[in-house]
């Protein structure tokens, strides 16, 4: 197995030392499947057979061509690794270690701590420090992030036209706009985005997205993870927060980044998005936006944020100065 992975990767990496360190570390930490980015992680090195663990829970550990690495978890690791390829573009190899779903967080934390001293990890989750610059930091500086999660006010940023997503979503949005509950849904989504997302106009599409489904169901994602869901005026809104918030109606969400889902009555959303609850949601969103770029940008519906509703303007409705 070792010979197979070495033969197929040393030349591609261009730095045998980095590759050899990665391979030794992977083997020493129990990784048993070795994969190749050049075939989109279809086959494992053992006999070059199709990867049989591609849809089983476990931990992956990939190497970039500059020697940096990443440790993550997934219940569908092949799909997750392919998403990483689209996000990073310089992955060379990956290793995989099976793990029961209930132990994923504990094992991922353990492996990040074990591998961080030897590699520059691109992780945000569980890492003491990230090994390379994060794209989000160039948009929202670390100082602005800190101020935002501590209750500071950032402006809306610069909203872009996003003509192609607008065109793609036009018919669906037109049908949605004619429904009885559309204005209530728009107010809820715009309220959440304006309060919980830093510089939403500037970070839109690249770091967060909002998707409209045919049933009128609306979901906001930060990075790869759901942070807000509208199910209709008669049902509770789902608002996600970090694990510091554990209320009566909070439930542990089964996502990669530890979080809690809070079920909020639409009429109470304005009040809920304030104080410690708002800050808990902001902390989660900033971590997610630093962790990875938007997953659902292909279904992003810009019209949900740009429609002008009757009554007070969005800025008047969401004047953040009075909410904390």
CA gap 60, 34 in Å, rounded: 10
- 300 Cβ contact list (under 8 Å, min separation 6): 162, 165, 169, 204, 205, 209, 210, 211, 294
**How many whole angstroms separate alpha carbon 73 and alpha carbon 91?**
16
CA 13 → CA 7, 45, 49, 110, distances in Å? Answer: 11, 16, 22, 26
For 216-233, what is each residue's pLDDT tens digit? 889 999 987 889 999 877
So what's the pLDDT on residue 314?
43
- Smallest CA-to-CA distance from 33 within 24, 45, 21, 23 is with 45
pLDDT value at residue 230: 94
- What confidence tens digit (pLDDT) does each residue in 96-115 have? 999 999 999 899 989 988 99
pLDDT at residue 296 tops 80: no
- What does the pLDDT average to over 158-184? 92
**Of 76-80, 166-170, 294-298, where does mean pLDDT reach its minimum?**
294-298
As a whole number, mean pLDDT of residues 1-12 equals 39
270 in Cβ contact with 239 (< 8 Å): no
Return the percent helix, strand and coil in the chain, to nearest 5. Answer: 45, 20, 40
Average pLDDT across the chain, whole number: 82
Mean pLDDT for the stretch of residues 17-35:
92
Dig out the tokens for 301 from the structure: 């519906």
Q: What is the pLDDT of residues 71-101, one digit of tens each?
A: 999 999 999 898 888 767 789 999 999 999 9
Provide the pairing of β-strand 58-64 with 91-98. antiparallel
CA distance 32 to 9: 16
Q: By the 8 A CB rule, do 200 and 193 touch? A: yes
């Amino acid at each position: 197995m070792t010979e197979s992975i070495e033969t197929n990767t040393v030349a591609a990496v261009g730095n045998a030392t980095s590759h050899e360190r990665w391979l030794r570390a992977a083997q020493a930490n129990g990784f048993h499947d070795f994969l190749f980015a050049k075939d989109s992680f279809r086959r494992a090195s053992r006999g070059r057979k199709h990867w049989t663990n591609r849809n089983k829970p476990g931990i992956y550990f990939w190497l970039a061509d500059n020697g940096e690495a990443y440790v993550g978890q997934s219940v569908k690791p092949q799909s997750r690794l392919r998403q990483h390829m689209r996000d990073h573009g310089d992955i060379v190899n990956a290793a995989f270690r099976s793990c029961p779903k209930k132990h994923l967080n504990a094992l991922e934390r353990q492996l990040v701590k074990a591998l961080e001293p030897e590699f520059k990890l691109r992780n945000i989750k569980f890492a003491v420090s990230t090994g390379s610059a994060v794209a989000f930091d160039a948009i929202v500086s670390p100082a602005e992030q800190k101020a935002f999660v501590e209750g500071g006010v950032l402006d809306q940023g610069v909203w872009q036209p996003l003509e192609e997503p607008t065109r793609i979503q036009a018919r669906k949005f037109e049908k949605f706009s004619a429904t009885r509950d559309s204005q209530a849904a728009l107010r809820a989504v715009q309220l959440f985005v304006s309060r919980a997302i830093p510089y939403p106009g500037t970070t839109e599409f690249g770091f967060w997205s909002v998707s409209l489904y045919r049933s009128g169901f609306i979901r906001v994602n930060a990075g790869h993870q759901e942070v807000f869901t509208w199910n209709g005026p008669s049902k509770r809104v789902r608002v996600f927060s970090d694990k510091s918030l554990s209320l009566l109606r909070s439930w542990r969400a089964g996502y990669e980044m530890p979080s809690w889902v809070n079920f909020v009555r639409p009429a109470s959303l304005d009040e809920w998005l304030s104080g410690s609850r708002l800050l808990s949601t902001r902390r989660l969103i900033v971590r997610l936006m630093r962790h990875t770029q938007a997953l659902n940008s292909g279904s992003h519906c810009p019209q949900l944020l740009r429609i002008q509703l009757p009554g007070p303007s969005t800025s008047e409705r969401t004047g953040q100065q009075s909410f904390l």
